[in-house]
Amino acid sequence: MIKIKRSYEPAYEDDGFRILVDKLWPRGVSKDKANLNLWMKEIAPSDDLRKWFAHDPGKWEEFQNKYKKELKGKKKYITRIKEIEKENSTITLVYSAKDKDHNNAIVLENVLNKL
């Protein structure tokens, strides 16, 4: 099972294996509070894509397409996340964006669930 959760929300045991999927560390969150098992910054959108998107909901559809295209070149990281899911049954993709409806973790979760 794959869940997604904002890095500013409390970590719970039922989150399972927690993976930060952002390139940048969440502002103001300590390592203890983040309670992460892995920081996979390599799976995050490129700097250019992240800056272009700037969490603008008007760019959401195009962002999803561009990020999915980037993910095709990151198969080893996708495979690793799927392995971690098999090993732990539950993983949580942790992200920092304020917008819970338009962020890279949603796109990544959709890609992972289609495999």
81: CB partners within 8 A, 6+ apart: 19, 40, 43, 91, 112
66, β-bridge pairs: none
Tens-digit pLDDT profile for residues 36-94: 999 999 999 999 999 999 999 999 999 999 999 999 999 999 999 999 999 999 999 99
Mark 25-42 as b/e (b = at least 16 C-beta within 10 Å).
Answer: ebeebeeeebbbeebbee
> What pLDDT shows up at residue 72?
97
> What pLDDT shows up at residue 62?
98
State the pLDDT confidence band at 102, using cuts at 50, 70 and 90.
Answer: very high
Q: Range of 96's domain?
A: 2-113
Q: What is the pTM of this model?
A: 0.95
Which H helix or E strand runs over 48? helix 47-53
Tally of domains in the chain: 1
For residues 105 and 111, the answer to whether their CB atoms sit within 8 Å is no
